[in-house]
Structure 1
Amino acid sequence: MSECPERSSRISLLKEPLLRRLCEVLDRCGNRGWRKLGEIVSRDRRFRVSDDELEVCSLKVLQPEGSPSRMLLRLMGERGCTAGQLIDHLQTLGNSEALECLKPSALQIIVQPQSVALMSGHNLRLTCYAVAKSPVQYQWFKTKDEVPNSFSPDLMISPVNVKDAGFYICRVNCGESFEFSHWAQVDVLNGNVSHGLSYHSPEGGLRLVIQPQSQQLHIGEDLQLECGAVGRPIPGYQWYRNGVPMPKVTKRKLVIPHATQDHRGRYRCEISSSNERTWTNEVDVFIAPRISVQLSGATECSEDDIYAIGVGSDDFLLNSIPDQLYATDKVALLIGNLSYRNHPQLKAPMVDVYDLTNLLRQLNFQVVSLLDLTESEMRNAVDEFLLLLHKGVYGLLYYAGHGYENYGNSFMVPVDAPNPYRSANCLCVQSILKLMQEKETGLNVFLLDMCRKRNIHDDSMPNIVLRVTANIVFGYATCQDAEAFELSSSGFTNGVFVKFLKKRLLDDEKITVVLDRVAEDMGHFNATKGKQALEIRSSLSERRALTDPILPGNSAELTHTYSRRWAKAHELPESMCLNFDCDAQIKLGFAAEFSNVLVIYTYIVKKPEDMTFCQAHVTDFPQELDVDPKEMNRETPEETGIYFLSSSLPQHCLYTRVSSLQKLKEDLVFTVCLQGTFASMDDDSVYWSKSIDIGKPLIARLDLHRAVRRNSCLQTCQMPHSPSHSPCHSPCHSPGPEHRLHLHHGSHQAVDHNRLSPQHHYLDVYETPHQGAAGGWGDYHYDNLNPAYTTTSAGGLSSPMGRVSIPIEATDDIAEIQTVFMNSMQFNQQ
């Protein structure tokens, strides 16, 4: 039986036996082997195999049973190389033995049968066509049984019935040679359960024909939901409950035997085929308990008697179950400003943002956390987030840094703000909220960890007209005209607000209830009692919670597009192995501490036996990045300022922390230097170097450094009484509907806002290890309490929840059927 592929098939689909033989040939050949093939392929612009990638291929020889050829073919396959293109390159290479592996056989199947889903009563046609030097014969099988009278290239069943559903395969004979076609699955939908939807031919693409129906059950009964679509190829299915994919529930029919109350909720199915995707209606499943009703001291009746005696009905029982609220998506932006150029430096924001980032990820938020942004960078970051907002999205903004409040409007102060600063130099939170409202977001949460003192240098009165909506929650770290505090400590500690917020954030409660409890906890904290109190402002009329599940709405495809773009901007460079002429090899790895903070580490993989000392370090970074030469290439993460990832980084490396990636204008290019000494050279050091280009990592891909557009929807809103306007921005135009903001919660903001006091104070506090009685937290002791500002720095890398393409329903079944079928063929031939 030949395994030779068609010329148009991808080499990533080569069968394992053929791939193994081909790699064995290319691995053992010298000047006509894999390396020469790689050099030929590198000149083909369609595949672009680089020198570094060829070096990675060569490292496979160091692994047990490793194959450089397999790695090279994998890279080519990932870039779309077909079997025909590989044959052309092998001909250029002149390797006849390798070409023999791919040589077409005397018998070839050129038309494979395709899986299809169709309605009962229609005509089924499967086609398998082969060519050979002599006549061929056909025989169709359903699973392992021959289909009677099926000896032609076309298998016709007219009309098709539900019993005809299953897996089909065709055997083609030519003399003593034979080939089997691919398996084809046939799914036949019962027309009797079609719920009023019109049917179209499978050739017309994906069509939804069966919608699931709401269920009202009692505990212990079987839950059954069904949907269906027709099309060629056969559609794939993925069921969702409360917006969350159900593991391994990938068939048309969802069956849960003996359902419990844990199975109640809202169900929906995603149906996909090739490049098409659609969703069923969302249906409610109610599951009521089986109860008995006591009519007198000695008489009871079962649930079956309730309706008759007038106590109630199923509707009575089921109507008591509250509706579940959903988000169509969740996105959060965290900004922590601490390294101010013209104002006191802050400390707590970095810790607070990091902690909140990890908590929000657990709540399925897409999170971007950024440290130390200038005015233009803040505006561009928010502008990018606006694109993620649409109807029903939960948007959360957390800001920690200097700030102030004038006439009920809150202003966030960038790190490059002048002294004194005015509204034209800052971002108005209410302006952002206005833009979020226009997107009809489901929930808007603002957590502002900053001072709210009035700015005596700014008399502007923003004219911001907000819509009347019931989906806004403000959590202020302190009351109006008051300061927020950060705790003075020799180490890293949370600010007062986030210290208590992070203990409550994951509670499955309405967001205002969560904040109420945080306020109570803060009220028991002796260090700030009477000096800082959480203030909550809310127009929320529903029980919206950060724990609400995600259920994509009608704009799911648009959401997916923006999510892919944002996820692309948070990808880390792939780790790489570098080989030097001295036969030393080092590993270059990457990690993300925040969305704009990259960690680079190097360690020695191997070195020559006669090398007495070997060390690799990185250098020559672009000037716009924040890299302290004194803290580069240190032996512990803490020495270079990496405090949060130290436990997850590999040991025995040299570490470098690269900040301010949002300022990167071109690809990040730096130098890796290798230093070695040899005993034969009196221990004199020898140096080797390589220039490395890793593109634009993480947030650098969004070009936040660019100038703000003149018509940016995030321009400072027009303030006729303002004595100053930003020299680089024009007054705000009417915000366009295409922009929306989703922001991230929780950061302590530093208060020195309007420079009311020339002094910069901290609240000196330390914790004792035992539990305190007040509020359930540990005891705190403080030496003095002075007016202070609190700030939080935010960072952290988010893992956007990508939408995964759904596999064909019977993917797992085909493997099992293949085994059973082939075993039966072998048995019959004995």
Structure 2
Amino acid sequence: GEQCVGTVLCSKHSLHLQVSCVTTADRGMYRCRAYNLYHEMWSEEVYVDNYFSSMLMNFYSPCTVEPSRQLSTFYATDKVALLIGNMNYLHHRQLRAPMADVHELTNLLRQLDFKVVSLLDLNWQEMHSAVTEFLLLLDRGVYALLYFAGHGYENFGNSFMVPIDAPASYTSENCLWVQGVLKRMQERETGLNVFLLDMCRKRNLNDAIIPKLGPLKVTANTVFGYATCVDAEAYEVNKDDLSNGIFMSFLKKRLMEDEKVTVMLDRVAEDMGQCKITRGRQALELLSNLSERRALTDHILNSDCPVTTSARNLQWAIAHVLPECHVLQFECGVKVQLGFAAEFSNIMIIYTCILEKPNEIVSCSAQLSDFPEDVEIDLKHTNEESLQEAESLLFTAESLPESKLPKLYTRLRALQQLKKELRFTVCLHYQYSNLDEDVQERQTISVGKPLVSKLNLHEPRRQPNSMTSSFDYNLVAEGASFTEVSSFAGTSSGSSSTLWSFDSEQRDKSTHPPSAQVNFPEENLESDESQANLTSKSLPNSFRFSNMKNFYSL
């Protein structure tokens, strides 16, 4: 037996090698060499991760071992996920579930050692910049996962994610092209590419733009999990503000399973098939060319280059740095603690609590004001006594330091829009025992650029001149023939396919006539009682539910 780095453990003539007194220093890649005077053969590499010093390592000769007993485990050099949930659209129907879905998926992926960037309500520029930053985290062997929940559509096998600022009659110029992102991911030589797209795939009759991608590499490592089939809608349930969408409701029950990604998603599809309220309306579609048994639960084996690993860790950490806790001393003797917590990568909670006060002061509170204009904040819900009143629905006060002290909470959204350092005023209101009037003291504080604001997603990235990616587009009328349009050809309802197509068939003008009307795909829900609580992520004529606020705890 011989370690890949060249360290010889021992040499034996038997079929089995037993090594005792194994320590963590022996963790690594191993393979076996079987040889004689005329020939030699090497086994597949196996990563040994030993948890106990008494663990035994057994290797088998590749010439004699049965195929079912060969060890073949796959590892990631790192695992990175970008999660985007768009709800508060400016010109289209508001959605409920994306925030809860991103929250749920973030918690699960972190348990699987993914570096997760979770973002809510991004406009066109911010979505493009976020993807560019996401690509910087990818490298050879990295597992990459992109999740999107929001409005979307699909034309000729090309999927498009809709930003919150998309106009009423949007086209691909106003959206983010999924297949373009895949092309860029392949160039990073990733070990696994997983796309989970919780959006509608109806045809957009306004869009006569055909993107030209060129041939994708045959990397055999890509999985697309669509929440619904081609030309169908994805739904969320109008139950309450904490409900997941249909797709996430089933995905979260299977995501942690130690199975090949396609097997896991197949089981999700089977579970969704049992859902009565969406049967015949929404079914998961799995498209894949994954040729190896790679799973989201695979362990991480860092690459041979520690500099690359360190740079990637630093790049990810930049977007998740919270300001340090501040303790402010006021002239009256009151000491105020100012703390920070993250809900999402672009949403932050600021809380204040009174640590000390002189005995002659009978009451006091520290309130925040004078926030910069480029962060979103509802002044009616600032300095609230509970997280729920501050519109943070799932973040728990018990998880914060000094949890037993009374606090006031303020919630800041859209930190990706922050252009300068975050400055605000802490106003202390207090009252002495012998005075009836309220006294105030103020301190202005700067906490730098917290969380994702450091990445300046509002700024354009340097890319070739294009509409939605660094690749060329052809503007072609719908009736014309065109080639080299990226598309996945496969079956629906969870059956996996390995067919990849780069040529689109000709379309008949009479079948899909061009239109300049607003994006209102046909609503296919019946009005029976069983469907009363379903809402499509497409854009039907009727408006069925109200806006929803943001939540989640990192």
Map residues 134-533 of structure 1 onto 2, 5 A cutoff.
Answer: 211=7, 213=9, 221-223=18-20, 240=27, 266-267=47-48, 286-287=57-58, 315-316=64-65, 320-465=69-214, 466-533=216-283
Q: Give, in whole Å, the separation in 2 of the partners of 1:795 and 1:674.
A: 28
Q: Given the superposition, is the C-alpha separation of residues 606 and 571 from structure 1 closer, same or farther in structure 2, using an over 3 Å criterion?
A: same
* SS of equivalent residue, structure 2 residue 358: coil
Residue equivalent to 2:311: 561
> Against the structure 1 CA distance between its residues 478 and 526, is the aligned structure 2 distance closer, same or farther, given a 3 Å change threshold?
same
TM-score (norm 2): 0.79
Structure 1 position 402, deviation (Å): 0.6
Specify whether residues 760 and 660 from structure 1 end up closer, same or farther in structure 2 by C-alpha distance, changes over 3 A only.
farther
- 1:693 corresponds in structure 2 to 446
Tell whether the 8 Å contact from 1:591 to 1:599 is kept in structure 2 after alignment. Answer: yes
Find the residue that maps to 2:218 and give its secondary structure.
coil
Deviations 1:450-487 (A, max 9, x none): 00000010011111121222111000000000000010
How far off its partner does 1:653 sit?
A: 0.7
Tell me which amino acid in the other structure corresponds to 1:351: A
Letter in 2 for 1:679: S
8 Å Cα contact 1:367/1:797 also seen in 2: no
- Mapping for residues 571-610 of structure 1, pairs under 5 Å: 571-610=321-360
- What are the within-5 Å matches in structure 2 for residues 43-192 of structure 1? none
Query: What SS does the aligned partner of 1:626 have?
Result: coil
Whole-angstrom CA distance in 1 between matches of 2:72 and 2:286: 26
Check conservation: 1:472, 1:539, Cα contact below 8 A: yes
Letter in 2 for 1:429: V
Amino acid at match of 2:47: R
1:784 to 532, 537, 541: 532
- What letter corresponds to residue 205 of structure 2 in structure 1? I
Distance, in Å, in 1 between the alignment partners of 2:146 and 2:161 is 12
User: Against the structure 1 CA distance between its residues 549 and 795, is the aligned structure 2 distance closer, same or farther, given a 3 Å change threshold?
Assistant: farther
TM-score (norm 1): 0.54
Measure, in 2, the Cα distance between the counterparts of 1:319 and 1:762: 51
Q: Deviations over 1:287-309 (max 9, x none)?
A: 279xxxxxxxxxxxxxxxxxxxx
- Cα 1:782/1:607, change in 2 over 3 Å: farther
Is 1:661 aligned to 2:415, yes or no?
yes
2:186 partner SS: helix
2:512 matched to which residue of 1?
none
Q: CA deviation at 1:626?
A: 0.7
Could you say which residue in structure 2 is the equivalent of 1:755? 519
CA pair 238-699 structure 1, distance change in 2 beyond 3 A: farther
Which whole-Å deviations, capped at 9, do the CAs of 1:747-769 have from their partners, x for residues lacking one?
xxxxxx972259898999xxxxx
CA contact (8 A) 2:257 2:297 kept: yes
| Partner of residue 494, structure 2 | none
1:195 deviation in Å? Answer: 10
Is 1:648 aligned to residue 399 of structure 2?
yes
The farther-off stretch of 564-573 and 689-698 is: 564-573
Q: Per-residue deviation at 1:211?
A: 2.6
Residue 58 of structure 2 aligns to which amino acid in structure 1? I
Q: 1:474 to 1:436 in 2, by over 3 A?
A: same
Would the alpha carbon gap of residues 612 and 786 (structure 1) be closer, same or farther in structure 2, given more than 3 Å must change? closer
Supply the AA of the counterpart residue of 2:417. K
1:454–1:754: 8 Å Cα contact kept in structure 2? no
1:719 aligns with 2:473: yes
The residue identity in structure 1 corresponding to 2:77 is T
Which of 674, 678, 697 aligns to 2:428? It is 674
Read off the aligned partner of 1:479 and give its amino acid letter: C
Deviations 1:82-121 (A, max 9, x none): xxxxxxxxxxxxxxxxxxxxxxxxxxxxxxxxxxxxxxxx
Aligned amino acid, residue 784 of structure 1: A
Q: Distance in 2 between matches of 1:661 and 1:612?
A: 36
Label 1:794 to 1:604 Cα distance change in 2 as closer, same or farther (>3 A): closer
CA distance in 2, matches of 1:396, 1:452: 20
Matched letter for residue 453 of structure 1: K
Provide the C-alpha distance between the structure 1 equivalents of 2:167 and 2:470, rounded to a whole number of angstroms: 16
Q: Is 1:613 matched with 2:366?
A: no
Cα offset, 1:641, TM superposition: 1.1
Q: 1:364 to 1:458 in 2, by over 3 A?
A: same
CA positional deviation for 1:427: 0.6
Q: What is the CA–CA distance in structure 1 between the aligned matches of 2:530 and 2:3, rounded to whole Å?
A: 70
Could you say which residue in structure 1 is the equivalent of 2:457? Answer: 704
> What secondary structure, in the 3-state scheme, does the structure 1 residue paired with 2:331 have?
coil
How far apart, in 1, do the equivalents of 2:211 and 2:18 lie? 60
1:509 Cα deviation (Å)?
0.2
| Structure 1: distance between partners of 2:249 and 2:142 | 27
Q: 1:142-174 CA deviation, whole Å, 9 max, x = no partner?
A: xxxxxxxxxxxxxxxxxxxxxxxxxxxxxxxxx
What secondary structure sits across from 1:398 in the alignment? strand
Q: Which whole-Å CA distance do the structure 2 matches of 1:365 and 1:215 have between them? A: 39
| Aligned amino acid, residue 372 of structure 1 | D
Letter in 2 for 1:648: S
Cα offsets for 1:538-575 (capped at 9, x unmatched): 00111110011111223442132122122132111111
CA distance in 1, matches of 2:330, 2:122: 39
Contact in 1 for aligned 2:195/2:224 (Cα 8 Å): yes
The 1:434–1:267 alpha-carbon spacing in structure 2 relative to 1, beyond 3 Å, is same
- 1:215·1:286 contact (CA, 8 Å) conserved in 2? no
CA deviations over 1:223-273 (Å, ceiling 9, x no partner): 3679xxxxxxxxxx9554589xxxxxxxxxxxxxxxxxxxx952489xxxx
Q: CA distance change for structure 1 residues 666 and 785 in 2, over 3 Å: closer, same or farther? A: closer
Distance 1:761 1:703, change over 3 A: farther
SS at match of 2:210: coil
Return the alpha-carbon distance in structure 1 between the equivalents of residues 471 and 522 of structure 2.
30
Amino acid of the structure 2 residue aligned with 1:223 = S
RMSD: 3.5
Q: Secondary structure at the match of 2:282?
A: coil
The one-letter amino acid of 1:676's match is Y
- Tell which deviates more after alignment, 587-596 or 786-795: 786-795
For residues 522 and 369 of structure 2, what CA distance do their matches in structure 1 show? 40
Distance 1:618 1:458 in 2: 46
- Tell me, in whole angstroms, the C-alpha distance in 1 between the residues paired with 2:423 and 2:153: 40
Partner amino acid, structure 2, of 1:464 = L
SS at match of 1:720: strand
Q: Which amino acid aligns with 1:706?
A: E
If each structure's helix is expressed as a fraction of its own residues, which one has the higher value?
Answer: 1
CA positional deviation for 1:784: 2.6
Instruction: Determine the C-alpha separation between the residues in 2 that align with 1:794 and 1:375.
Output: 20
| Partner Cα distance (1:674, 1:760) in 2 | 56
Question: Taking structure 1 as reference, are residues 689 and 549 closer, same or farther at Cα in structure 2, changes over 3 Å only?
Answer: same
Unaligned runs of 5+ in 2: 31-44, 478-516, 540-547
Alpha-carbon separation, structure 2, partners of 1:519 and 1:583: 62
Comparing 567-576 and 345-354, the one that deviates more:
567-576
RCO comparison, higher one (Cα < 8 Å, 6+):
2
